[in-house]
Amino acid sequence: MKKLTLSTTVVLFALLAGCASTSVNRQTSASNCDVPTSKEESISLALIEQQVLEKQYYSALAYLENASDTNPRVLRLRAEAQRNTGMLSEAYASYRDLSLTCLTAYGHAGMAKILATRGDLPQAHQQMLKARRLAPSNADIRNDYGFILLAHKNFKEAQREFMTALQLQPGHPVAIRNMVISLILDGDSRTAVRMAKNNGIDSSEFKFLLSQANAFKQPALAGSNNIYHGAPL
């Protein structure tokens, strides 16, 4: 696979490959790995999930301090909050623990995002591929795996992942935008324009996506000031 500089990888991953925030509540609530949960704890976790959805990561971490580490919902919420507050080492450990529960795929996907942020694309690819194999029908994971392929300039393979994500979850906002970027990079601007129009992406946002595609083509120096430090994936 082709190598990218650290700054190019971090900028584009931060801007384009964000884990869809709308998925947290739906997917973490789906399974507790059969861990017994009291009514009070369920209510508390639902409130914390809402805080994460609203990007209130610091308050979520405060409420999670006394939560049970044996509950996979707790592990995932903590990992997401840690990652989005820049606590990458702690988040990586939480995702690693999560990978040992019934939410294995989300653990590997989370570790992949942190590895990508650190510029370790080969290991990020391996972790996200594990997640994809474990949860092939998860739209967010297919989108994020597609972005890693995009970062390696495997445009056609990336487009297949984005299209899969869009068919699994129609209207997936991140996959749509990643698909537009991939079409631009693949030289199919006409289809990119049509897809943008069909999905409510206005001209100003399309210009922004075009600028990101152009930035993707440019060589970047490690340590560039263009890196968006602390930007969520």
Average pLDDT on 149-171 reads 94
Asked if pLDDT for residue 208 goes beyond 70, the answer is: yes
pLDDT for the residue 152: 86
Q: What is the pTM of this model?
A: 0.80
Asked if pLDDT for residue 93 goes beyond 90, the answer is: yes
pLDDT for the residue 16: 42
| Fold of the domain built from segment(s) 6-217 | 1.25.40
Distance CA 131, CA 126 (A): 9
pLDDT for the residue 36: 67
- Please provide the average confidence, as pLDDT, over all residues in the chain: 82
Contacts of 202-211 with C-beta under 8 Å, sequence gap 24+, read 206/180, 209/177, 209/180, 209/181, 209/184, 210/184
Per-residue pLDDT tens over the stretch 105-157: 999 999 999 998 888 889 999 999 999 999 999 999 999 999 999 888 899 99
